[in-house]
Chains A and B, each alone.
Chain A
Amino acid sequence: DARVTQTPRHKVTEMGQEVTMRCQPILGHNTVFWYRQTMMQGLELLAYFRNRAPLDDSGMPKDRFSAEMPDATLATLKIQPSEPRDSAVYFCASGLATLREGETQYFGPGTRLLVL
């Protein structure tokens, strides 16, 4: 049963600390997406990659957020330094096409982040 996995599932940290979230896309998928979901803003696209190359990260605050794909089986999203307003659920999704081609994205269970 192929699925996207994310770690950690929950993270509580103090303001100013570094946070690293990890995602393992479905084997064979070549596109990875990072989303953030909050009550106020809903679901927002932060960044996406195709074949490990960043296609777009304009939805991400550049000064503190960074997203990478060190290899095809791992995507990371880092926040340094973290702030209380970063508290949200962060979802990773993988697929076989870009948004334009519109193929199905498969979502992970999310990382629930709380920054105190």
Chain B
Amino acid sequence: KQEVTQIPAALSVPEGENLVLNCSFTDSAIYNLQWFRQDHGKGLTSLLLIQSSQREQTSGRLNASLDKSSGRSTLYIAASQPGDSATYLCAVSRRMDSSYKLIFGSGTRLLVRP
């Protein structure tokens, strides 16, 4: 059974710091991995998607890496800002039984202090 774990569960940093969020998954047979952002009481916004054949993706101050063999992904946020405060979720896509599933981690709650 595929399990997705995110560490840490919560993180508080001062503005301007660079930070890394971690995601690990137990089964490396994935099609892709996505990082989402969820603001309190809101839906999810897709940040980055990494196909299984890729090693990393970048968007602005965000960089996500993928190491399928070790079952790990990281989301790097450079020069953090208070507006980055949100919950960040990673999700892996893989085949389960006769269909495809998107399996989410429990998220990392990030607070960037002004």
Same assembly: yes
**A105 near B100: Cβ-Cβ < 8 Å:** no
Chain A: minimal CB distance from B66 (Å)? 12
| Interface flags, A84-112, vs B, CB<8A=1, else 0 | 00000001010000111011111111100
User: Chain B CB within 10 Å — which of A59, A102, A108 has the most?
Assistant: A102
**B43 near A91: Cβ-Cβ < 8 Å:** yes
| Interface residue from A33, A91, A104 paired with B49 (Cβ < 8 Å) | A104
User: Chain A CB within 10 Å — which of B31, B93, B99, B101 has the most?
Assistant: B99
B-chain residues with CB within 8 Å of residue A103 when the two chains form the complex: 49
Chain A: minimal CB distance from B76 (Å)? 20
Point out residues on A near B: beta carbons under 8 Å: 4, 33, 42-45, 55-56, 58-59, 91, 93, 98-100, 102-110
**B99 near A55: Cβ-Cβ < 8 Å:** yes
**B43 near A107: Cβ-Cβ < 8 Å:** yes
**B51 near A107: Cβ-Cβ < 8 Å:** no
**B107 near A91: Cβ-Cβ < 8 Å:** no
**B106 near A99: Cβ-Cβ < 8 Å:** no
**A99 near B97: Cβ-Cβ < 8 Å:** no
| Interface residue from A44, A99, A102, A110 paired with B43 (Cβ < 8 Å) | A110
Chain A: minimal CB distance from B65 (Å)? 16
**B104 near A43: Cβ-Cβ < 8 Å:** yes
Measured CA separation A59–B104 after assembly (Å): 13
Measured CA separation A45–B97 after assembly (Å): 14
Measured CA separation A103–B95 after assembly (Å): 16
- Sample (25) of A-B pairs whose CB atoms are under 8 Å apart: A33-B102, A42-B105, A42-B106, A43-B44, A43-B89, A43-B91, A44-B104, A45-B102, A55-B99, A56-B98, A56-B100, A58-B99, A91-B44, A93-B43, A98-B100, A99-B101, A100-B31, A100-B95, A102-B31, A102-B32, A102-B34, A103-B49, A105-B44, A107-B43, A110-B43
